[in-house]
Amino acid sequence: MQSAVSIKDLKIAYGDHSVIEKMSIDIAPREFLVLLGPSGCGKSTLLNAIAGLQDITAGEIWISGKNVSWEEPKDRGIGMVFQSYALYPRMSVRKNLSFGLRVAGLPKTEIEARVARTAALLHLDKLLDRRPAELSGGQRQRVAIGRALVREVDVFLFDEPLSNLDAKLRNELRVEIKKLHQNLGNTMIYVTHDQVEALTLADRIAIMRDGVIQQLASPAEIYHRPANLFVAGFIGAPAMNFIEGRIERGNGSPVFLSNGLAVDLSGYSFQAASDGPATLGFRPDHLVLDGAASRLPTIPGHVSVVEPMGSEAVLWFDWAGQSLSLRLMGEVTLQPGDTVAPGVDIAKASLFGADGSRL
Ligand SMILES: Nc1ncnc2c1ncn2[C@@H]1O[C@H](COP(=O)(O)OP(=O)(O)OP(=O)(O)O)[C@@H](O)[C@H]1O
Ligand SMILES: [Mg+2]
């Protein structure tokens, strides 16, 4: 199948400051790809390059089977929603939505039909005659999204469209965007540094660091089998627990050793050679409170803090001078200072070698 968007050996540099390092990605038609990474890692630069707003240093960008590397933005068949969107303050919502189409010289009836379709999709039908100043933040954001959607193209590029909104609105619009994608079936490339948005929206997530993709995989794969320490630490809240130690493989099965802890690794499926220094990573949800009862290797410690969060709670406990977290369902009666011996489910854990890559 032909890719909707194909990025081939792309390099982008500002002078001698390299921002994107030889990157290649193929994005399938109808795919929802999320670019996720810390501030400054090159997400907007990459998206702007796909849109044609940013010159590239080397490589190629293909959209719908055509090399568009040097095409004008308007000829690329994309719609874009920017990180800092600006609506035309003196124009009504209707005019804001139709502006690009009027400039492009589309027939009036076609413009009206598209504005009506887009407004209905984004629940803006009753607001078409208002000006941006007369709208809430979420409504304004929907107009900004609408301005891209009226173009009715196959590929949409979103650059942190929800970052300026409060948490409740963000959650609501996130669900709207997911529905929109399900209904329209376009290809979406969506930039965010919010891991919840990435995990909930994406078919695949590309996790970037310093212009390099660290892992490109489904949300489940990235959550359960992170490719390296950076990905493991970036995804998940509270963050994955890490314990440093070493793996020893005597005659029997391999064992992870650290500070008097000896964890049998026979339940772990290794993908790489494994002796020597290593980091054991396990998520708060992959620990059980009573390790002995579950016949799991235990990590004994003392409760330091309990954070109730409604239906669940996060329990922090100290082990060997380190603070580890454990997620519990329901109400927690434990107090700071109480002794616990949680068990770690090694089949769900991750091991990383000295260079940080997954073992
Ligand atoms: N015009 C420019 N000249 C030089 N360096 C730039 C320019 N624009 C961006 N950069 C640098 O390129 C890097 C990537 O910037 P970019 O805007 O792509 O990051 P981002 O991942 O979108 O971050 P954020 O999450 O903060 O939006 C940063 O280090 C930034 O300082
Ligand atoms: Mg950005």
What does the pLDDT look like over 313-355, one tens digit per residue?
Answer: 999 999 999 999 999 988 888 999 999 999 999 999 999 999 9
- Residue 35 in contact with ligand 1 by CB distance below 6 A: no
Domain CATH number, residue 282: 2.40.50.140
| Ligand 1 pocket: which of 43, 189, 190 to mutate (most atoms within 8 A of CB) | 43
CA distance 342 to 289: 4
Give 300's pLDDT tier (boundaries 50, 70, 90). very high
The pLDDT of residue 293: 85
Residue 120 DSSP SS3: helix
What pLDDT does residue 193 have?
A: 87
Residues 257 and 184: their CA atoms lie apart, in Å, by 52
Domain end: 182, 198, 231, which one?
231
CA distance 315 to 327: 6
For residue 226, whether the previous peptide bond is cis, meaning omega lies within 30 degrees of 0, is no
CA-closest residue to ligand 1 atom 27: 39
Same domain, 215 and 264: no
DSSP string of 135-203?
S-HHHHHHHHHHHHHTT--SEEEEESTTTTS-HHHHHHHHHHHHHHHHHH--EEEEEES-HHHHHHH-S
Burial pattern 344-358, b for ≥16 Cβ within 10 A else e, equals bbbeebbbbbeeeeb
19 CB near ligand 1 (under 6 Å): yes
The finding on whether 277 has its CB within 6 A of some atom of ligand 1 is no
Number of domains in the chain: 2
Domain boundary residue, one of 196, 231, 266: 231
Query: pLDDT tens digit string along 178-228?
Result: 988 998 889 999 999 899 999 999 999 999 999 999 999 999 999 999 999
**Distance between CA atoms of residues 147 and 139, nearest Å:** 12
Domain shared by 53 and 176, yes or no = yes
Closest ligand 1 atom number to CA of residue 48: 18
Q: What's the gap in Å between 35 CA and the centre of ligand 1?
A: 14
* Cα-to-centroid distance, 27 and ligand 2 (Å): 20
What is the mean predicted confidence (pLDDT) over 54-69?
95
Q: Rounded distance, CA 58 to CA 146, Å? A: 33
pLDDT tens per residue, range 258-287? 998 999 998 899 988 788 999 999 999 999
Q: How many Å lie between the centroid of ligand 2 and the Cα of residue 43? A: 6
Structural contact between residues 247 and 254, judged by C-beta atoms closer than 8 angstroms: yes
14 in ligand 1 pocket by Cβ < 6 Å? yes
**Nearest atom in ligand 1 to 83's CA:** 27
Assess whether 212 and 291 both reside in one domain. Answer: no
pLDDT digits (tens, 9 = 90+) for 158-168: 999 888 777 88
Query: Six-digit token pair at 357?
Result: 């890559």
Report the pLDDT value the prediction gives residue 206, as an integer from 0 to 100: 97
Q: Which atom of ligand 1 is nearest to the CA of 37?
A: 21
Does 358 map to a domain? Answer: no
Cβ-defined contacts of 95-101 (< 8 Å, 24+): 96/132, 96/143, 96/146, 96/147, 97/124, 97/128, 97/143, 97/146, 97/147, 97/150, 98/150, 99/147, 100/147, 100/150, 100/151, 101/150, 101/151
Co-location of 211 and 244 in the same domain: no
- Parent domain of 132: 5-231
